[in-house]
């Protein structure tokens, strides 16, 4: 199998960790990113050690995906260190919730910068090279709440819905060049963030999931490895909802 270089942004998070593991299991050379601040860097070092002890070698680079020049420099550095990037998983994302009547402009803008501008900031750096080489896989992580909307999340839902338009458009641009671009929309997944929801609220969330349970991070990672497989060249411009049947388009 061809050795492919895969980049996962927000690698050290709940879903990113599983994605990195699954991509390593798939035989990819995996590069992750963590936020450039001191706390995130220290946590990233621990994460890397733990992953290594489990047999997962993942090199980490500091990166703020909201910073266009930073993304440019990051991609140049990775390509100088490892070679061209074949697979990009735009996974990093944040929430900053409030109902519209209380949402601050700063909250709105930051979520747009991190969740949506990042799609452009990262894809712009790798897309041309992928097209020239005749192979590329881009997976953009959206959300159930981008499909159906969510009270108190107009900023987050707008970014996650925006990802679909971006995905379909660049899928068209890459279609004849061997470059596929798809979205994955997780539902409620059993991550630290979701476990922090009060028990009663969580119970009512689970009651609304036809499958009757939260998803597991590995189930999102499986969607990512399906879409990034060399054999997945005929799947492009689509959205794969992984939500236990909670929302059916
Ligand atoms: P986490 O918060 O666990 O992970 C997000 C990662 O993104 C973290 O590593 C975080 O770093 C990183 N990150 C945040 N801001 C930036 C930035 N500006 N630049 C670079 N990296 C950044 O979230 P999840 O793993 O749960 O979510 C991953 C993706 O899946 C997100 O896009 C999210 O919206 C989406 N999603 C998740 C669902 C779930 O149930 N968990 C449901 C639907 C969608 P740090 O930890 O240092 O802040």
Q: Are 7 and 88 in contact (CB under 8 A)?
A: yes
Cα(24) to centroid(ligand 1), Å:
20
* Rounded distance between C-alpha atoms, residue 30 and residue 7, angstroms: 6
Q: Are 184 and 139 in contact (CB under 8 A)?
A: yes
Quick check: CB of 194 below 6 Å from ligand 1?
A: yes
| Residues with catalytic function | 156
Given a cut of 90, is residue 196 above it in pLDDT?
Answer: no
* pTM, two decimal places: 0.98
Ligand 1 atom nearest the C-alpha of 144 is 43
Quick check: CB of 154 below 6 Å from ligand 1?
A: no
Q: Dihedral (C-alpha) 121, 123, 224, 220: value to the nearest 10 degrees? A: 20
Cα(216) to centroid(ligand 1), Å:
15
Ligand 1 atom nearest the C-alpha of 65 is 19
* Rounded distance between C-alpha atoms, residue 188 and residue 214, angstroms: 6
Given a cut of 90, is residue 44 above it in pLDDT?
Answer: yes
pLDDT of the residue at 227: 98
pLDDT of the residue at 1: 67
* Rounded distance between C-alpha atoms, residue 148 and residue 164, angstroms: 13
Q: Residue 108's closest CA among 116, 96, 123?
A: 96
85 forms beta bridges with none
Given a cut of 70, is residue 36 above it in pLDDT?
Answer: yes
- Report the pLDDT averaged over residues 144-163: 97
* Rounded distance between C-alpha atoms, residue 63 and residue 32, angstroms: 9
Given a cut of 70, is residue 33 above it in pLDDT?
Answer: yes
Quick check: CB of 188 below 6 Å from ligand 1?
A: yes
Neighbours of 114 (CB within 10 A): 21
Atom 31 in ligand 1: residue holding the nearest Cα? 93
Cα(132) to centroid(ligand 1), Å:
30
Structure tokens that stand for 74 in this block: 């990051």
pLDDT band of residue 197 (cuts 50, 70, 90) is confident
Q: Are 161 and 147 in contact (CB under 8 A)?
A: yes
- Report the pLDDT averaged over residues 6-27: 98
Q: Are 6 and 31 in contact (CB under 8 A)?
A: yes
pLDDT in tens, 79-101: 999 999 999 999 999 999 999 99
pLDDT of the residue at 127: 98
SS3 state at 146: helix
Question: Please, what is the average pLDDT of the chain?
Answer: 97
Instruction: Please report how many Cα atoms fall inside a 13 Å half-sphere around the Cα of residue 201, on the Cβ side.
Output: 6
- Report the pLDDT averaged over residues 164-187: 98
Q: Residue 118's closest CA among 141, 152, 137, 146?
A: 141
Can you give the length of the chain in residues? 249
Q: Dihedral (C-alpha) 112, 118, 121, 122: value to the nearest 10 degrees? A: -170
pLDDT of the residue at 2: 79
Q: Are 156 and 145 in contact (CB under 8 A)?
A: yes
- Report the pLDDT averaged over residues 21-47: 97
- Report the pLDDT averaged over residues 198-213: 95
Quick check: CB of 74 below 6 Å from ligand 1?
A: no
* Rounded distance between C-alpha atoms, residue 150 and residue 31, angstroms: 32
Cα(110) to centroid(ligand 1), Å:
14
Atom 44 in ligand 1: residue holding the nearest Cα? 143
Cα(165) to centroid(ligand 1), Å:
21
* Rounded distance between C-alpha atoms, residue 123 and residue 48, angstroms: 25
Quick check: CB of 123 below 6 Å from ligand 1?
A: no
pLDDT of the residue at 193: 78
* Rounded distance between C-alpha atoms, residue 178 and residue 114, angstroms: 28
pLDDT of the residue at 195: 86
Q: Which domains does the chain have, with CATH numbers?
A: 5-187+218-239 (3.40.50.720)
């Amino acid at each position: 199998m061809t050795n492919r270089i895969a980049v996962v942004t927000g690698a050290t998070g709940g879903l990113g960790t599983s994605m990195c593991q699954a991509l390593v299991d798939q035989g990819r050379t995996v590069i992750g990113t963590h936020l450039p601040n001191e706390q995130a860097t220290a946590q990233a070092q621990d994460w890397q050690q733990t992953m290594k002890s489990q047999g997962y070698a993942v090199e980490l680079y500091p990166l703020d995906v909201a910073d266009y020049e930073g993304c440019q420099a990051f991609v140049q550095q990775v390509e100088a260190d490892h070679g061209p990037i074949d697979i990009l998983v735009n996974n990093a994302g944040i929430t900053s919730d409030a109902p519209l009547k209380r949402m601050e402009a700063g909250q709105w803008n930051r979520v747009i910068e991190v969740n949506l501008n990042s799609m452009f900031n990262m894809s712009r750096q790798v897309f041309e090279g992928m097209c020239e080489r005749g192979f590329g896989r881009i997976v953009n992580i959206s959300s159930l709440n981008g499909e159906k909307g969510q009270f108190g999340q107009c900023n987050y839902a707008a970014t996650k819905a925006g990802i679909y338009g971006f995905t379909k458009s660049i899928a068209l641009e890459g279609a004849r060049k061997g470059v596929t671009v798809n979205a994955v929309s997780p539902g409620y997944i059993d991550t630290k963030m979701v476990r922090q929801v009060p028990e009663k609220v969580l119970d009512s969330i689970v009651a609304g999931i036809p499958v009757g349970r939260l998803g597991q991070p590995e189930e999102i990672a499986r969607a990512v490895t399906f879409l990034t497989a060399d054999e997945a060249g005929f799947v492009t411009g689509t959205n794969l909802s992984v939500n236990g049947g909670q929302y059916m388009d």
